[in-house]
A and B are shown apart, each in its own frame.
Chain A
Amino acid sequence: MLTIKILGSGCANCKRLEQIAHKVVEDMSLEAEIIKVTEYPDIMKYNIMSTPGLVVNEKLVSTGRIPTPAEITTWLADAAMQAS
């Protein structure tokens, strides 16, 4: 099962990223757990410099913007392939 983390302290962009992530997971019918990381000490473990951040199976894939659903789909597909 994939673990997806959304790094951000709750601003509108972070929420939107979470919604898009949920939608992509649904569209792909993947088994995935989506976790919101909102405390800065935890966020900074990934060494990012701008939120929102997106982490898939502990690999940082995007920071500072909302990636397109197409990009997220590619990352999730890659992660699913690597995991199997």
Chain B
Amino acid sequence: MTTLTSPSLPHSEKRLYITLTVAVFAWLAAYNIIQPIANWISFTALGLAPDSRLGSSLAFFLYDVPKILLLLSGMVFGISIIRTFFSPERTRALLGGKREGVGNIFAAMLGIVTPFCSCSAVPLFIGFVESGIPLGVTFSFLIAAPTINEVAVVMLFGLFGWKVAGLYITSGLVIAIVAGFIIGRLKMERYVEDFVWQIKGGAQALGEKLTWSDRIERAWDSVKEIVGKVWLYVVVGIAVGAGIHGYVPADALAGIMGKSAWWSVPAAVLIGIPLYSNAAGVIPIVSALIEKGASLGTVLAFMMAVVGLSLPETIILRRVLKPQLIAVFIGVIAVAIIITGYLFNWIM
């Protein structure tokens, strides 16, 4: 086993902690002044009436864009620090030896904190499976990881409050656990591509000892990378939400997507599956739907179908899963999302 220390860059540790403290205070200060500033710009500087459509839309936009970007930076930073404690190798070690049931629950929870990009899905899958982790438990992880990501949670929290965000996390977890468990019970090991079973398992290939300095550097790099990738989607998403907030007549969509249309949940999921978007990009549609009377269960089902099942990921998984297993994977997730959608429509 090779142990590496990450080569440290020429910052002194003290300077890093001072910078971090200053950043936290700056964040808190910024978070508290954006609403007054947004209102001032819209109502005082530009003289728009607070209850006019343009006035309220603009104030909403000017407040929400920096708010979401701040929340996103904070959340990505926090989660990235946590992630430095949960490398895929460590996750695999934590899951090893857990039987189904308990394993599915752990796998889903670890899926939230483990870094995940579609192209890593395959090495991760192979790594888990050939080290003896049950197939169903591996799937619980693979379902939870892309679906419950911090961008989705932050945007839902920022735009709709903690109840909606909490609901999203909970349903994502439940779906991951249950779908993974069911797939495991179906005993479809022979539908995994043969070469996977032939790979010799190895001890942990790379052991890195990270200092706190390293963790903070990596978390900050993550923030730059992720916010850099999604900020435009955030701006567009909030602009669309602000526009709809002000201008589209209320309840325009209630007829199609409201509670009374029983087929709205399956329809939302079926439409959502082939669509592929990052979590930030789907939010404009989500805000539009919620603003205009669609019921929460249907909308969350749609969002999970879009974010959780992506065409690139499915194509990549085809390298390790035979078509029957991919079909079962998609099918079980779809059904689980549909049931969750109905459930929330019923209880909300």
- Residue ranges of A at the interface with B (Cβ–Cβ < 8 Å): 8-11, 13-14, 40-41, 43-44, 46-52, 59-65, 68, 70-71, 74
Cβ of A71: which chain B residues have Cβ within 8 Å of it?
Answer: 6-7
Our count of residue pairs bridging A and B at CB distance below 8 angstroms stands at 71
Asked whether A50 lies within 8 Å of B7 as measured between CB atoms, the reply is no
The answer to the question of B50 belonging to the interface, with a C-beta cut-off of 8 Å to chain A, is no
Give residues of chain B (187-244) contacting chain A, Cβ–Cβ below 8 Å: 195, 199, 202, 205-206, 218
Asked whether A49 lies within 8 Å of B7 as measured between CB atoms, the reply is no
Which stretch, B84-92, B104-112, B294-302, touches the partner chain A? B84-92
| Closest A residue to B89 using CB positions | A49
Asked whether A44 lies within 8 Å of B199 as measured between CB atoms, the reply is yes
Give residues of chain B (122-162) contacting chain A, Cβ–Cβ below 8 Å: 122-124, 126-127
Q: Nearest-CB distance from B302 to chain A (Å)?
A: 26
- The one of A13, A61, A63, A74 in contact with B119, judged by C-beta atoms closer than 8 angstroms, is A13
Asked whether B88 lies within 8 Å of A50 as measured between CB atoms, the reply is yes
Asked whether B9 lies within 8 Å of A70 as measured between CB atoms, the reply is yes
In the docked arrangement, what's the CA distance between A46 and B202, Å? 9
In the docked arrangement, what's the CA distance between A42 and B180, Å? 28
Q: Nearest-CB distance from A46 to chain B (Å)?
A: 6
Known: A40-B320, A41-B195, A50-B88. A60 touches B124 (CB 8 A): no
What would be 28 A-B contacts, judged by CB atoms less than 8 Å apart?
A: A8-B119, A9-B122, A9-B316, A11-B117, A11-B119, A41-B199, A44-B126, A44-B199, A46-B205, A47-B127, A47-B202, A48-B206, A49-B89, A49-B120, A50-B88, A50-B115, A50-B123, A50-B124, A51-B117, A51-B119, A51-B123, A62-B206, A63-B206, A64-B88, A64-B120, A65-B218, A68-B9, A71-B6
Q: Nearest-CB distance from B234 to chain A (Å)?
A: 20
Cβ of B117: which chain A residues have Cβ within 8 Å of it?
Answer: 11, 13, 50-51
In the docked arrangement, what's the CA distance between A59 and B7, Å? 16
Asked whether B6 lies within 8 Å of A48 as measured between CB atoms, the reply is no
In the docked arrangement, what's the CA distance between A9 and B119, Å? 7
Cβ of A64: which chain B residues have Cβ within 8 Å of it?
Answer: 87-88, 115, 120
Asked whether B123 lies within 8 Å of A43 as measured between CB atoms, the reply is yes
In the docked arrangement, what's the CA distance between A71 and B122, Å? 26
Instruction: Kindly list 12 other residue pairs between chains A and B, CB separation below 8 angstroms, not including A48-B205, A60-B2.
Output: A9-B122, A40-B319, A41-B195, A48-B127, A49-B92, A49-B120, A49-B123, A50-B88, A50-B117, A50-B120, A50-B124, A52-B119
In the docked arrangement, what's the CA distance between A74 and B8, Å? 11
The answer to the question of B4 belonging to the interface, with a C-beta cut-off of 8 Å to chain A, is yes
In the docked arrangement, what's the CA distance between A48 and B199, Å? 12
Cβ of B9: which chain A residues have Cβ within 8 Å of it?
Answer: 68, 70
Cβ of B122: which chain A residues have Cβ within 8 Å of it?
Answer: 9, 40
Asked whether A49 lies within 8 Å of B2 as measured between CB atoms, the reply is no
Asked whether B319 lies within 8 Å of A49 as measured between CB atoms, the reply is no
Asked whether B118 lies within 8 Å of A11 as measured between CB atoms, the reply is yes
Asked whether A74 lies within 8 Å of B7 as measured between CB atoms, the reply is yes
Q: Nearest-CB distance from B312 to chain A (Å)?
A: 8
In the docked arrangement, what's the CA distance between A11 and B312, Å? 10
Contact string against A for B residues 304-315, beta-carbon threshold 8 Å, 1 for contact and 0 otherwise = 000000000000
In the docked arrangement, what's the CA distance between A69 and B91, Å? 28
Cβ of B2: which chain A residues have Cβ within 8 Å of it?
Answer: 59-60
Asked whether B88 lies within 8 Å of A49 as measured between CB atoms, the reply is yes
Give residues of chain B (46-100) contacting chain A, Cβ–Cβ below 8 Å: 87-89, 92
Cβ of A14: which chain B residues have Cβ within 8 Å of it?
Answer: 119
In the docked arrangement, what's the CA distance between A24 and B88, Å? 27
Top 8 A-B pairs, shortest CB-CB distance: A49-B88, A11-B119, A49-B127, A50-B120, A47-B205, A47-B202, A74-B7, A51-B119
| Closest A residue to B217 using CB positions | A68
In the docked arrangement, what's the CA distance between A18 and B195, Å? 27
Asked whether B206 lies within 8 Å of A44 as measured between CB atoms, the reply is no
Q: Nearest-CB distance from A70 to chain B (Å)?
A: 6
Cβ of B195: which chain A residues have Cβ within 8 Å of it?
Answer: 40-41
